[in-house]
Structure 1
Amino acid sequence: MLIGVIFSTSGYSNWNEITDCVLPLVSASQNQELLNPVSAEEVKASLFDMNPDKSPGLDGMTPAFYQKSWAIVGADVVATMQNLFASGELLPGFNDTNLVLIPKKKNSIVMGDLRPIALCNVLYKIVSKVLANRLKGLLDQIISPYQSAYFPGRLISDNILVSFEVLHYLKRKSQGKKGYMALKLDMSKAYDRVEWPFLEAILVTMGFHQRWINLISACVRSVQYHIVHDGQRLGPILASRGIRRGDHLSPYLFILCAEGFSTLIQRYEAN
């Protein structure tokens, strides 16, 4: 099954050329902020920040159930989150995920025309949201200005405009001994092809505390996919790579992975 191939590791493990370019930028105080005990207010804020009518995961619950029943279930939810963050481990089945294939265009024919969207359990979403909220607060201090997606105060349209101006210059340049070229790269199924050891190597090299890396790895590595198609649930599919669209953490983890590629380009540019 092609979807199983997408989530299967390539087996490549030599990241040295990339990790050698990455600097350890995360300080001890920043690690402490990431690892502070989870408060009841933090858990509640993460839950109530979710759209109440988001599609449910395998547990069949929407955020609305927990939001409307917070007075009854809130203490148990907070205790679950605090125990999870203290142990660094997810309960069995906690991270089981429905996978829905959404067409990218009309008349989708091949697998590449479909985008897999992860429908996670609400309790996992709370974990992911808390981690994402903590992580995004320090990204602007450790990520180069060349990346602009998902950053407060940065616009991805800025990079689009820069690219447009560069291409406009190349198109008009008709004189001179030196020629120029532009290379456009399309990272097909980019989220799905993130190798877990590479993500962990980037986190280690950047200076993240091992406890934080263990939390991230627990979220990434414990997933089991169940494909929902025509009203039926197929699976499970055991993944060995990839991060999920629909997971609050994924955009920020992808930014960290892309930073390795960005620093590699900067090194070659400097040379």
Structure 2
Amino acid sequence: MDSNGNVYNSNEGLLSHPTSYFDYLFSSNGIANTDANLEGVETCITASMNVDLTRAFSYEEMCIALKNMSPLKASGEGGLGVVFCQRFWHIVGKEVASYCIEVSNPGSMSQFRPISLCNILYKIVAKMLVNRFQSILYFCIDETQSVFVLGRLIFYNILAAYEILYFMSKRRLGKLGSFALKLDISKTYDRVE
């Protein structure tokens, strides 16, 4: 069923509705001046950080990424997980390393897959990217966005909200009132803008 209440029962409808839904969700409405959106945002990536982020991956980075991955967490094609690559590195290491370090630019839709369907090689590349970003991520995230800071949990935000609401409900003195606002934002991280 779409947002207008139209029900799709045919194969054609079941194929076209998801396509149009995701086309809308992931397409741009066209922003005339994107510079205005970034006027108040200070640059946090320095030139030297950018050089480090854009340099070619090394064999050592790939080995560190593989070593830091949980051996049984992500199974690959045919059920072979990270543990296979870790255990038989002396046999498959050269081929795995050459693939992960020399990943070509994807050129067709068949080269893109949801993360749950990605094999171990893609997950090693993703881990290499994560490892590289970890060194500079601290400079890019505001201290108020605690969920992204290592060692902090989103649960802390729930505790803070509970304490604030408790304080507001018990406050009896003073002329100024208190006010809390809860906003529901539907998957803002899925939208282009």
Provide the rounded CA distance (Å) in 2 between the counterparts of 1:50 and 1:30: 25
Whether the 8 Å contact between 1:58 and 1:96 is mirrored in structure 2 is no
Provide the rounded CA distance (Å) in 2 between the counterparts of 1:176 and 1:131: 52
> Do residues 97 (structure 1) and 114 (structure 2) align?
yes
Q: Give matches, 1:196-235, under 5 Å.
A: 198=193
Secondary structure at the aligned position of 1:181 is classed as coil
Provide the rounded CA distance (Å) in 2 between the counterparts of 1:133 and 1:28: 19
> Do residues 82 (structure 1) and 101 (structure 2) align?
yes
TM-score where L is the length of structure 2: 0.71
Whether the 8 Å contact between 2:141 and 2:148 is mirrored in structure 1 is no
Which of 109, 113, 118 is the matching residue for 1:120? 118
- Aligned partner of 2:68 in structure 1 is 49
- Aligned partner of 1:11 in structure 2 is 28
Provide the rounded CA distance (Å) in 1 between the counterparts of 2:179 and 2:41: 27
The sequence identity of aligned pairs, in percent, is 34
Which has the larger strand fraction? 1
Q: Is 134-143 or 163-172 further displaced after alignment?
A: 163-172
Whether the 8 Å contact between 1:66 and 1:73 is mirrored in structure 2 is yes
- Aligned partner of 1:21 in structure 2 is 40
Q: Which runs of 5+ in 2 are unaligned?
A: 1-13
Provide the rounded CA distance (Å) in 1 between the counterparts of 2:122 and 2:111: 6
- Aligned partner of 2:177 in structure 1 is 179
Number of residues of Structure 1 aligned to a counterpart in Structure 2: 173
**Which one has more relative contact order, counting CA pairs under 8 Å at least 6 apart?**
1
Provide the rounded CA distance (Å) in 2 between the counterparts of 1:3 and 1:148: 34
| CA-CA distance at 1:135 after TM superposition | 0.9
| CA-CA distance at 1:130 after TM superposition | 0.8
Post-superposition Cα deviations, 1:82-104, rounded to whole Å, max 9, x if no partner, equal: 222xx6x2476443237xxxxxx
Q: Which runs of 5+ in 1 are unaligned?
A: 99-117, 199-271
| CA-CA distance at 1:6 after TM superposition | 5.2
Whether the 8 Å contact between 1:96 and 1:121 is mirrored in structure 2 is no
Which of 114, 128, 131 is the matching residue for 1:130? 128
Provide the rounded CA distance (Å) in 2 between the counterparts of 1:17 and 1:57: 44
- Aligned partner of 2:86 in structure 1 is 67
| CA-CA distance at 1:74 after TM superposition | 1.1
Whether the 8 Å contact between 2:100 and 2:122 is mirrored in structure 1 is no
| CA-CA distance at 1:20 after TM superposition | 3.1
- Label 1:189 to 1:121 Cα distance change in 2 as closer, same or farther (>3 A): farther
Post-superposition Cα deviations, 1:144-185, rounded to whole Å, max 9, x if no partner, equal: 110112422444444333322221222223454443321223
Whether the 8 Å contact between 2:72 and 2:83 is mirrored in structure 1 is yes
Whether the 8 Å contact between 2:62 and 2:128 is mirrored in structure 1 is yes
Q: Which has the larger radius of gyration?
A: 2
Secondary structure at the aligned position of 1:96 is classed as coil
Which has the larger helix fraction? 2
Provide the rounded CA distance (Å) in 2 between the counterparts of 1:153 and 1:126: 23
